[in-house]
Structure 1
Amino acid sequence: MPAVSASSTVSDVVTRRGSDLLELSHSIHAEPELAFAEHRSCAKTTALVAERGFEITAAAGGLDTAFRARFGDGPLVVGVCAEYDALPGMGHACGHNIIAASAVGAALALAEVAEELGLTVVLVGTPAEEAGGGKALLLAAGVFDDIATTVMCHPGPADIAGARSLALSEVAVTYRGRESHAAVAPHLGRNAADAVTVAQVAIGLLRQHLAPGQMMHGITTDGGQAPNVIPAHTAMKYYMRATDSASLQALEQRMADCFTAGALATGCEHDVVESAPVYRELAPDPWLADVFREEMRTLGRDPVPADLEASLPLGSTDMGNVTQVMPGIHPVIGVDAGGASVHQPEFAAAAAGPSGDRAVLEGAAMLARTVVRLAETPTERDRILAAAERRAAS
């Protein structure tokens, strides 16, 4: 009888462990936890790989809800990222339960062929993708230093093998004025709420001058306490996005001028503080993305053509930071949410429905089979290893 291929082996593992993976996905979905507080989700994500014999490092990089789970000792060290944080008030409307379960499935599958293919498999639990930049913090802490390539997949409204993303920065803006009675002595006050208004008007006028791909969106987190007291303290939170880091830096400067305008016009003081690490734009490895696209078609999916991927609406992810320093991919796995997209309640429901379950199992299989193809293609394997050696030497 012919030998069973490694690609068939990893697919069989995902099928065999399918009920466990779906139970994991549904359990994380049922108990959503926010950034840096994903204690139950983190424990659930490590459980299956710990049983399989992965070596678990808790609190990786000094983050309580991060981990590393390592299996094998081959020269090609492959990272698989698991995310498990949820959105405030919306649960897993971005489907991170699917990400965690598919990552665990890929890691379990690759463990079965690690010795045969000369792999070390590292499942990395990465908290706080929605807010806080967990992967950026883990990169800075050296958690990815020994990894040559990193893969993961993310649910969305369509199948996109070479998904892109926008660079993103997040700031907290505060204004400090002077309280006074709004009727008795308004002339003695300095209205910090007016500073917010001026800044937002300036931002609105700036929109007509934005470069392609630049955008901004924000909320007022503190607008005052009582109508009859001139507010002495207000606060906003703003996200800025752009197609690349250079464009983002240019937008940040123009936004800083808008924030300053609010202070100058009202006689208030203000501070602008970066409240999370900058998310860099995704730079998917072309060869890995091409292989993943083939795997999508093999499973009957209809991925967006490669030449249209860059024109699709984009969000932001801290996986962009990882792909900027090593080869990697962050494909999107289509989930049918009745026309809804991510960050909508309908998508949260779909993430634990039949289409979400299919994304868990097929995502795990496609990630694992893509890594198998890499390990079995000498030129590409050597390319990835050479890049890792250069990074280690720099």
Structure 2
Amino acid sequence: MKMSEALKTELVNFSELTGEAASARRAELARHVATLFALTSDRCSDEQVDIYDSVLLRLVDMVESEVRRFVAEQMSTLRRGPEETIRRLASDVIEVSEPILVRSTVLRDADLVSIAEEQGNDHRYAIAQREVLSADVTDILVRRGDLKVKRKIASNDGASLSGSAIELLISDSAADATLQLSLSDRPDLAEAQIASLISIASDEVRKKLQTSGRSGETAQLDEAADIAARRMSNQYWLGRYDFETARSRILLLAKKGMVNEAALRRFASEDRFAEAVATFAWLVRCGVEEASHWMVRPDPEPFVILAKASGFSSITVGSLLSIGPWRHRLTPENRSHAMNLYERMTVAEAKRKIAHWSYNVLK
């Protein structure tokens, strides 16, 4: 007997499942079907998945929350699954929906946004714990969520945040040291946002916390401001990368004649900042330390001038402006301004500026 036929004949017989006396049978069947699918999901055809979906969808509406929680646990870690059932469980009471909301990759962004809008903060907090969250989802979580949700989003490294979401979190952190501390440790804040975070911890906020007896949070505010201030320094960012190892790798590639602009673009596309810096340094004939300082500063104009004088393409320059520290330190406006400068400048103009730098250094 084919599996689909077995499912139809054995699992979709609901006539024996009505009435109070069949409660235990319904629970047993729901657990059995969920376990069976979890064990065989990778080998099921699309038709078989649809059959499981129709059976489970009906069963979860016939059983108690404890059993629905069991089904949700079984479904939560599957790469493919009964989508309608998973959506149904994701909108259930939080005791049932939590494992689905936290772990299921079957849910789409549209599902998460809908649940975040329609359900309460318990559901939003569960979503906020997901390993990866898009900006579309975090936008609604930040707008609609309570402080607990916002703290979780701020501390979640896998949560992408839009500019408006970051601004709202920074604003809300004015009176919450925990939120501010989490924000200060995020690697994706732009320079201006870090400055706002530092300024938000005003003396007035500290006084309010001290007056309410929350001296511990006052210390946290100071710590958050210190962390944010450090992140505005070039050395903070450069200290995250192993330039010495990268330099050794590039020297080996250079001996094989494999260090060129194409290699530089490849390192940029892979966000391998240390290797990109070492390659750039080799191509423009300067030291790795010197190149690293050009490629970390909030003002990229010196880098743009050197890249133009060296004849790099606009594709390469644009790629380099979007990796490593610049991925976080440059605003879209800064990046656009740098590219406009690159496009307008001629190679001759760039070389004249470099000659002027050298003249001033030698004077």
Q: Please, what TM-score do these two structures have when normalized by structure 1?
A: 0.22
Bigger Cα Rg: 2
More strand by share: 1
Higher relative contact order (CA 8 A, sep 6+): 1
More helix by share: 2
Q: Please, what TM-score do these two structures have when normalized by structure 2?
A: 0.23
